[in-house]
């Protein structure tokens, strides 16, 4: 529900850590560093549309810096903001094929950060909200040594914290550290994230379904039946859902978290693993939505229980209000599909 007390992100994280005597304050510092990068990315995202108008050359902006593609800018901003705080042993990004080592001159920490720096960045040109998604783990290899791929490839269940920043009509940071989901709105006047949603809970009953219906012909038959079901009504008070899909995962899931709904990016005949990435899109979003009382599955099992095989692997995802995910799971299981259709 909307918050009423004046609370900054930093104070909220510190208050959360006070409840754990063993906490070292490192997670607070890590999340604070992340929020700094988010403020800088928000500034750039919000003036992206002005590049042509303000006469940026496209090579150098008014600060004489190279104007990069926004997602590479966001990636660089995050890696530069996070690589010297002494909290991380390794990072991984949607924009880098391999893991990102902490420079030798910096102290090595006990956390792992995996992120999608700017998901949905193709929507920038049409002014649709986009977002940064992040996931934080404890390292599993020896303290003090450089982090490895093994530190990154952990089940989503092992996440210590996860969150997203949605750059829309306002910039909102939503995170969980395993004790509920909390949202903070950036006040650009003094550059602070202020608590705006405390202990967010996704409505158990969905009213919205979000997926790309242009792929209908390639879907699993059970999904086709489910979508027809949610477009229908009955004489026991069930009303059709509303269809809402902006093509930006962070924006679609953020809306559904507040209003209640289901977001689906399924496997289909063209994409047998779906499109979205496990480590830096589906796992963090699944952690958040489960902490908010919802569910997240790949069509067969919990997203958070999937054993990762590679950094950029794709998984199907059905995520949102419990009643909707329960129902789609029922339709998927009910359909006996012929082998070549098995997804």
The residues that touch ligand P6P, with contacts defined as CB under 6 A, are 119-120, 122, 212, 247-249, 275
Distance in Å, CB of 211 to ligand P6P, minimum? 8
In the complex with ligand P6P, the residue whose CB is nearer, 156 or 274, is 274
In the complex with ligand P6P, the residue whose CB is nearer, 193 or 265, is 265
Q: Cβ of 80: how many Cβ atoms within 10 Å?
A: 11
Q: Cβ of 194: how many Cβ atoms within 10 Å?
A: 18
In the complex with ligand P6P, the residue whose CB is nearer, 263 or 287, is 263
In the complex with ligand P6P, the residue whose CB is nearer, 90 or 162, is 162
199 vs 183: CA distance, rounded Å: 8
Distance in Å, CB of 243 to ligand P6P, minimum? 13
In the complex with ligand P6P, the residue whose CB is nearer, 46 or 122, is 122
Distance in Å, CB of 330 to ligand P6P, minimum? 24
Q: Cβ of 125: how many Cβ atoms within 10 Å?
A: 9
Beta strands in the chain (DSSP E): 88-93, 100-101, 111-119, 130-138, 161-167, 171-176, 181-187, 192-197, 208-210, 242-243, 261-265, 295-297, 317-320
51 vs 67: CA distance, rounded Å: 9
* Positive/negative CA dihedral, 86, 118, 310, 279: positive
Distance in Å, CB of 13 to ligand P6P, minimum? 26
Distance in Å, CB of 266 to ligand P6P, minimum? 11
Distance in Å, CB of 158 to ligand P6P, minimum? 24
In the complex with ligand P6P, the residue whose CB is nearer, 73 or 280, is 280
Longest dimension (CA), the chain: 68
């Amino acid at each position: 529900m909307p918050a009423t007390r004046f609370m900054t992100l930093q104070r909220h994280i510190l208050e959360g850590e006070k409840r754990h005597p063993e906490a070292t304050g490192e997670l607070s510092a890590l999340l604070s560093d992340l929020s700094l990068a988010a403020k800088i990315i928000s500034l750039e995202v919000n003036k992206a549309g002005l590049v042509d108008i303000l006469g940026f050359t496209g090579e150098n902006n008014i600060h004489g810096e190279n104007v990069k593609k926004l997602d590479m800018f966001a990636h660089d901003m995050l890696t530069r903001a996070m690589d010297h705080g002494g909290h991380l042993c390794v990072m991984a990004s949607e924009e880098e094929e391999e893991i990102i080592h902490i420079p030798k001159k910096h102290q090595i920490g006990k956390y792992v950060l995996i992120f999608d720096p700017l998901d949905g960045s193709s929507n920038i040109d049409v002014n649709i909200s986009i977002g940064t998604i992040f996931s934080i783990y404890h390292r599993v290899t020896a303290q003090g040594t450089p982090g490895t791929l093994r530190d990154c490839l952990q089940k989503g269940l092992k996440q210590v914290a996860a969150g997203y920043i949605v750059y829309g009509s306002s910039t909102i940071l939503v995170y969980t550290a395993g004790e509920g989901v909390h949202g903070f709105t950036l006040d650009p006047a003094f550059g602070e994230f202020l608590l705006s949603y405390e202990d967010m809970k996704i409505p158990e009953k969905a009213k919205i379904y979000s997926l790309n219906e242009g792929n209908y012909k390639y879907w699993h038959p059970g999904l086709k039946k489910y979508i027809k079901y949610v477009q229908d009504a009955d004489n026991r008070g069930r009303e059709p859902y509303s269809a809402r899909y902006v093509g930006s995962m962070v924006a679609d899931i953020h809306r559904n978290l507040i209003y209640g709904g289901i977001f689906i990016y399924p496997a289909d005949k063209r994409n047998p693993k779906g499109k979205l990435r496990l480590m830096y899109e589906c796992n963090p979003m699944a952690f958040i939505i489960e902490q908010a009382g919802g569910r997240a599955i790949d069509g067969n099992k919990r997203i958070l229980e999937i054993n990762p095989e590679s950094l950029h692997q794709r998984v199907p995802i059905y995520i949102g209000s419990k009643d909707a995910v329960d129902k789609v799971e029922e339709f998927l299981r009910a359909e006996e599909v012929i082998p070549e259709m098995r997804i």
